[in-house]
Amino acid sequence: MSLNENEILQIFKSTGALLEGHFLLTSGRHSNLYFQCAKVLQYPEYTEKICSNIVDYFNNIIIDTVISPAIGGIIVGQEVARQLNKKSIFAEREEKTLSLRRGFSLEKGEKVLVCEDVITTGGSVFEVIEIVKSFGAEVVGVGSIVDRSNGKVNFGYPQISAVKMDVVSFLSDDCELCKNNIPLVKPGSRKIM
Ligand code: ZN
């Protein structure tokens, strides 16, 4: 029941999760694409369809538990776990470090699938992998909705992303879109810069 990449991109566009234009990113760089995963995950129907790509990919692997980094990953982890009928837990940031709280823990040898909404540098997923290992549990794979690194981030385990994106960004003084006088938009606001 997996959707293909075009079908998923269609859902991203129809929900306003993926915008095309000329955007000011939080990094200060300019980009022709802006992606906000929460805009698509607000619809359980789409979350279910897109997460089934992750579930299908790990079809032949034994999974005891799904773990995700808060906040974005929780919705993905919960839906993947629901489809697998397995347990779902999450790690959350306290000060600067991710850790398991709320009484969550893992057993030695427990087989764990790590889920995330968007992979950019993979930082949170790498941190969650270390948490899993610290309990003596076993990472069996990593699943995400979008890989913005376009496959460059390698976690060292089987990994699947429903969509791979190659987001091009420009320095503000060397931006193709600025040169073409396309109005700059700050995502989340209607204001044109
Ligand atoms: Zn620009």
Domain assignment present for residue 141? The answer is yes
User: Which domain range does residue 144 map to?
Assistant: 5-179
Sheet of strand 169-170, all strands in order from the earlier edge strand to the far edge: 18-24, 30-35, 169-170
Number of independent structural domains in the chain: 1
Ion ligand 1: protein residues whose beta carbon lies under 5 Å: 30, 175, 177-178
pLDDT tens-digit map of 45-67: 999 999 999 999 999 999 999 99
How many angstroms is it from 122 CA to the middle of ligand 1? 26
Q: Could you tell me the pTM of the whole model?
A: 0.91
Separation of 126 CA from ligand 1 center, angstroms?
32
Spacing, Cα 187 to ligand 1 middle (Å): 13
Asked if the peptide bond before residue 145 counts as cis, ω within 30 degrees of 0, the response is no
Does residue 191 sit within a domain? Answer: no
Residue 143 sits in a domain of what CATH number? Answer: 3.40.50.2020
Q: How confident is the model at residue 127 (pLDDT cuts 50, 70, 90)?
A: very high
